[in-house]
Chains A and B, each alone.
Chain A
Amino acid sequence: MISAILLGFLFAILLVFAGKFFKGKFAVLSSLIPLGLFVYFLQFIPEIMEGNVVKESYNWVPSFGVNLGFTLDGLSLLFCLMITGIGFLVFAYTSVYLHHHKYLDRFYGYLSVFMAAMLGLVLSDNVISLFTFWELTSISSFFLIGFNNTQEASRKSALTALGITGLGGMFLLAGVIVLGNITGTFSIAEMLNMSPELIKGHEYYTVAVILLFGAAFTKSAQFPFHFWLPGAMKAPTPVSTYLHSATMVKAGIYLVMRFTPVLGGEEIWNTTLIVVGAVTMLYSAFHSLFRTDLKGVLAYSTISALGILMFLIGMGTTESFTAAAVFIIVHALYKATLFLTTGIIDHQTGTRDVTVLSGLRKVLMPVGIAAIIAAISSAGIPPTIGFLGKELTYEATMHAPIIATLLVVGIVITKILLLWAGFVAGIKPFQGSLPESLKDTKMPGPFMWVPPILLAVLSLVFGIMPFIIEGSLIKPVVSALGGESGEIHLALWHGFNTVFILSLVTIAVGTTLYFVLKPSAKLETAVGKLEAASPKSLMEKFNVGFTYLSSFWTRVFQNGYLRNYVFIIIFFLIGMVGYTMIGNTKFNIDPSILSNVSFYELVVFIIMCIAILFTVFTSSRLSAVVAMGVVGLTICLVFVFYSAPDLAMTQFSIDTLTVILFVLVLYRLPRYLKIQDHKMRIRDGILSLMFGGLIAVLALEVLSEPVNTEIGDFYAENSYIMAHGKNVVNVILVDFRGADTMIEISVLTIAAIGVFGLLKLRLKRTDRVQ
């Protein structure tokens, strides 16, 4: 399995070198990769049907208990087949959709990285690697959404999507770490083997659940995090098809499903999922009424479908799990078809405005057939699998654990609105008379129109013969979720009962609505006024405010005046250290440890004080440099007095060289500025004296503490024995801490090269600062 995951990454790397090949005529060959993976995963079906689980494990970071474990069970298999199957069609479709695009190779690279990350996500057994792949899907989707990186809207949407899903990633990381702490393992399989009471009774159970929900709701675009998804539709249509309807947004669903047997069944788990799912499905289903962009309609209906899935999982019964499993397939099939047909319409006519498009059946007949079947499946009209999905959903909702009646009303309304959305996207563009402007529309190449047809046909086949997926996919998924897979029996005809009546009502009302309510620009602008209060604009306002705050902050504190920076830093340092020292300073230096002051020491002290003051207050640069040299020499004397001959020698040589250096450049350096600003001088003087005083007091305080000479003693004792040297300072430099000295001389070299470069490097005329 690991090779299956790595294949996508390897292909992306290959594209760096062989990009030209896949950009031209042979672009369609890249679809062989997902096709091969699809076949590879198909062969696992018999094994999964028997109820087995395929496992693989590699050591990754064994010291932290992180293994690269992969598990293939019913749930993973369903997602793997969707990822690779739809992936194959999208890869092929793209070869025409972005035919001869300048960056087609780049696009395939992102797409295959995404596919590989998604496979890794659904196959990971270890939650840490699950998180890693989760983040990879966010990142690759960022590149895909922002693929048209010359458009500002596209970049903005990509950032929004990355921001929201990245936030979710943080939640996920925190969540799995909390979960790891609760269970003591990072393996999902081991969590499943633990007794559920142990996890659910844990005090951090709620925290873990909330964090995981944070991850799932952001990724799967649940209210109020839904707004990134419509924005993500700025991406090329294959991306919308693949990521934002069929796979990535389902990662959140996958996460919730994966953890249902571990964490599910508690009230907080079920109620949150039902409420959030229900709000999302109704909210966005209503919103889809007000879109005129085909992709906008589809985006909102996708969010609504994701809401339905959350809602179904939240009910936590075998019936609802079955409905969810079926609905995932239903939705993936019809939504991918509709996106692909929308892409064809967009590609061939140049518009996605549903109010303009009509009568396209005359020019795009095969596409129209696929779209209409998908619309029917979306509406839940037999004999498509959509009907099956809807029946199961109604059935499960009627037996909901809480407020069943209200939920049934909600789901019926949602389904009616979704029916409308499906019809608008799938039937509307092909209906009626063909306007003049669209007369020249041509059929695209077969790689573009065959994929939607294939998907649409599958919708029909699964609907007529549901037993194909019953044993192979649905039952393993339900048992992976912890449901009783024995009870499941899928059939198109359930008999004449309440559910059937509800279905009839849905179809009747929905179709009527379709004929009554036409999408119009007026409605879109009307609802646009409400945007101000939507989560999206709230976040944007927050962003704007934050930017404003930071630029204000920068203006105040980063104003480019060096002395302001230094002043503020020193001021706060004095404030904080001084505040701590008030009351903590003891001043109890033991006089016996102090050495006596001899006469020559006093002389040196006085010379040094004078030299320092002279350096500061002289108005001549040369005198300042000379005085500074005197300061250096007196320090050298201090080293001589207090047993540091090496230091004295070094200080002496360096002091000589510094003075030489200064003298060499002095007359090329600017003269002192004559700025008479007494107030400023006094202010700075006070600050400097306070700082100097602080350092002096600090030094005395440290001197009053006992000294630890352990390190020095170690070096001193071992200097001759281990390093054959008697000058301990030198032995430390060249032997004990030789690596440090190595770095130090490297730094010196860099400084010398820097000086050389600054003086010898002559900028080209064009680069010169004007």
Chain B
Amino acid sequence: MKTIILRTASNYLLPVLLLFSIFILLRGHYLPGGGFVGGLIAAIAFVFHSFANGLKNTKSLLRFHPGFLMPAGLALSFFSGLSPIIFAGDPFMTGLWYHGHVPVLGSVGSALFFDMGVYLVVVGVTLTIIFTISEAP
């Protein structure tokens, strides 16, 4: 599958798809999208890149094993759930909101960070699975 066209295209597609996935993630609270879908799209972007350029190149692009995204995402989600306990004395997972309008995002709250955690976990899980499988003999 390593044709020149695909390779060239994927080099441009990767940043575009990643940007798209972040866009999907951020708009999830208002329009269709969210951490799950965003994460899957980002994962597909990397898988696509690895198909075109080989797994090694993709891995060197990533610089770290995608598996590390899983604990990072879990921690982010967990702490965003924990934040109301720490900052407001409310029960676990109570939504905390910054009141005021933020351009592009609308309003910012703990739920957004939770969704980002989901995003990271999904990217980590998917890439770990697919990379592990493609490496396996």
Contact = CB atoms under 8 A, between A and B. Distances in A.
Contacts of A733: 34-36, 118
B114 A734 contact: yes
B77 A724 contact: no
A554 B20 CA distance: 55
Contact of B70 (A654, A656, A752): A752
A657 B43 contact: yes
Contacts of B117: 745
A760 interface: yes
Nearest to B71: A749
Interface in B66-125: 67, 70-71, 73-74, 77-78, 81, 92-93, 95, 97, 106-107, 109, 111, 114-115, 117-118, 121-122, 124-125
A665 B78 CA distance: 34
Contacts of B71: 749
A52 interface: no
A751 B134 contact: no
A583 B134 CA distance: 54
Contact of A748 (B29, B67, B92, B121): B121
B13 interface: no
A730 B33 CA distance: 8
A650 B28 contact: no
Would you list the 6 A-B pairs with minimal beta carbon distance, nearest first? A653-B40, A645-B32, A725-B29, A752-B125, A745-B121, A730-B34
Nearest to A739: B93
Contact of B67 (A664, A668, A751, A756): A756
A727 B31 contact: yes
A748 B132 contact: no
A660 to B, nearest CB: 6
A658 to B, nearest CB: 11
Interface string B9-35: 000000000000000100011111111
Contacts of B77: 741-742, 745
Interface string A736-751: 0011011001101101
A724 B109 contact: yes
A653 B95 CA distance: 29
Contact of A650 (B37, B74, B93): B37
B78 A742 contact: yes
B126 interface: yes
Contacts of B30: 725-727
A724 B33 contact: no
Interface of B is mostly: helix
Contacts of B107: 724
A254 to B, nearest CB: 49
Given A725-B111, A748-B122, A755-B129, 12 more contacts: A646-B33, A649-B24, A664-B134, A724-B107, A727-B30, A734-B34, A735-B93, A741-B77, A742-B77, A745-B77, A749-B124, A756-B129
B132 A760 contact: yes
Contacts of B111: 723-725, 731, 734-735, 738
A741 B40 CA distance: 16
A533 interface: no
A661 interface: yes
Nearest to A656: B44
A654 B41 CA distance: 9
Contact of B81 (A656, A661, A739): A739
21 contacts: A645-B32, A646-B33, A646-B37, A653-B44, A656-B44, A657-B47, A660-B130, A722-B95, A724-B106, A725-B29, A734-B35, A735-B95, A739-B93, A741-B77, A745-B77, A745-B118, A745-B121, A752-B129, A753-B67, A755-B133, A759-B136
Interface of A: 645-646, 649-650, 653-654, 656-657, 660-661, 664-665, 668, 722-727, 729-731, 733-735, 738-739, 741-742, 745-746, 748-749, 751-753, 755-756, 759-760
Contacts of B132: 755-756, 759-760
A651 to B, nearest CB: 10
A649 B70 CA distance: 22
B128 interface: yes
Contact of B114 (A656, A726, A738): A738
B70 A749 contact: yes
A752 B71 CA distance: 12
Interface core residue of A649, A653, A722, A731 (most chain B CB under 10 Å): A653
Contacts, number: 137
A734 B37 CA distance: 13
Contacts of B135: 759
Given A660-B130, A734-B115, A724 B44 contact: no
B128 A727 contact: no
Nearest to A747: B125
A745 B130 contact: no
B130 to A, nearest CB: 7
A738 B92 CA distance: 10
A730 B119 CA distance: 13
B136 to A, nearest CB: 5
A725 B32 CA distance: 11
B40 A727 contact: no
B29 A726 contact: yes
Contacts of A665: 133
B54 to A, nearest CB: 14
Contacts of B32: 645-646, 649, 727
A739 B41 CA distance: 24
Contacts of B122: 745, 748
Given A660-B130, A742-B78, A745-B117, A726 B31 contact: yes
Contacts of A650: 36-37, 40
B33 A649 contact: yes
Contact of B130 (A649, A657, A731, A751): A657
Contacts of A735: 93, 95, 111, 114
Nearest to B47: A660
A731 B29 contact: yes
Contacts of B28: 727, 730, 734
Nearest to B29: A725
Contact of B40 (A654, A729, A742, A752): A654
Given A727-B28, A730-B34, A664 B70 contact: no
Nearest to B40: A653
Contacts of B33: 646, 649, 727, 730
Contacts of A668: 136
Nearest to B66: A752
Nearest to B127: A752
Contact of A664 (B34, B35, B130): B130
B93 to A, nearest CB: 5
Interface core residue of B37, B77, B93, B126 (most chain A CB under 10 Å): B37
A724 B100 CA distance: 12
Contacts of A746: 74
A731 B132 CA distance: 33
A411 to B, nearest CB: 69
Nearest to B92: A739
A644 to B, nearest CB: 9
A731 B95 CA distance: 11
Nearest to B126: A657
B129 to A, nearest CB: 5
B73 A657 contact: no
Interface core residue of B36, B44, B67, B73 (most chain A CB under 10 Å): B36
A225 B126 CA distance: 62
Interface core residue of A656, A722, A742, A753 (most chain B CB under 10 Å): A742
B133 A730 contact: no
A749 B125 contact: yes
B30 to A, nearest CB: 5
B37 A749 contact: no
Contact of B133 (A646, A653, A742, A759): A759
B27 to A, nearest CB: 8
Contacts of A724: 29, 95, 97, 106-107, 109, 111
Contacts of B125: 745, 748-749, 751-752
Interface core residue of B67, B115, B129 (most chain A CB under 10 Å): B129
Contacts of B134: 664
A722 B107 CA distance: 13
